[in-house]
Structure 1
Amino acid sequence: MERPSGDEVMVRGFTRYIEQVAQELGIPEGKWAARDDGAWEAYVGIPELELYPGREVALVWTPDEGWALAVETGSGEDMILAGYLGSTRVPPPSAVRAFMDRLRHDGGALRTTPARGTREDALRAVADYGGVAGGVAAVE
Structure 2
Amino acid sequence: MATGLRRYVRSVAAALGPAVDTAAVHPDHPASACLALTGRLRWFPGRDVVFTWDAERGWAAELHTRATGVLRVLRYHGIDVLPEPEAVAAFHRGLFRAELPGRPDRPLGGDAREVFARLAGYAVPRHRAAPVHLCGVSTRKPGPA
TM range (shorter): 0.7 to 0.9
Rounded to whole Å, the distance in 2 between the matches of 1:61 and 1:12 is 16
Of 90, 96, 103, the residue aligned with 1:111 is: 103
CA offset digits 1:41-84 (Å, max 9, x no partner)? 10001122324212111100000110011112465142111220
Of 60, 68, 73, the residue aligned with 1:81 is: 73
Task: Look up the SS of the partner of 1:26 in the other structure.
Answer: helix
RMSD: 2.2
Assess, with a 3 A threshold, how the Cα gap between structure 1 residues 100 and 127 changes in structure 2: closer, same or farther: same
Task: Look up the SS of the partner of 1:69 in the other structure.
Answer: strand
Aligned counterpart, 2:3: 12
Assess, with a 3 A threshold, how the Cα gap between structure 1 residues 123 and 52 changes in structure 2: closer, same or farther: farther
Instruction: Answer yes or no: is 1:128 the counterpart of 2:121.
Output: yes
Percent identity between matched residues is 27
Task: Look up the SS of the partner of 2:97 in the other structure.
Answer: helix
Aligned counterpart, 1:37: 28
Assess, with a 3 A threshold, how the Cα gap between structure 1 residues 54 and 101 changes in structure 2: closer, same or farther: same
Which has the larger strand fraction?
2
Aligned counterpart, 2:16: 25
TM-score by length of 1: 0.77
Aligned counterpart, 2:138: none
Kindly indicate whether the alpha-carbon contact (under 8 Å) linking 2:64 and 2:70 is maintained by their aligned counterparts in 1: yes
Task: Look up the SS of the partner of 2:106 in the other structure.
Answer: coil
User: Structure 2 regions of 5+ residues with no counterpart?
Assistant: 126-145
TM-score by length of 2: 0.74
Equivalenced residue count is 123
Aligned counterpart, 1:138: none
Assess, with a 3 A threshold, how the Cα gap between structure 1 residues 19 and 38 changes in structure 2: closer, same or farther: same
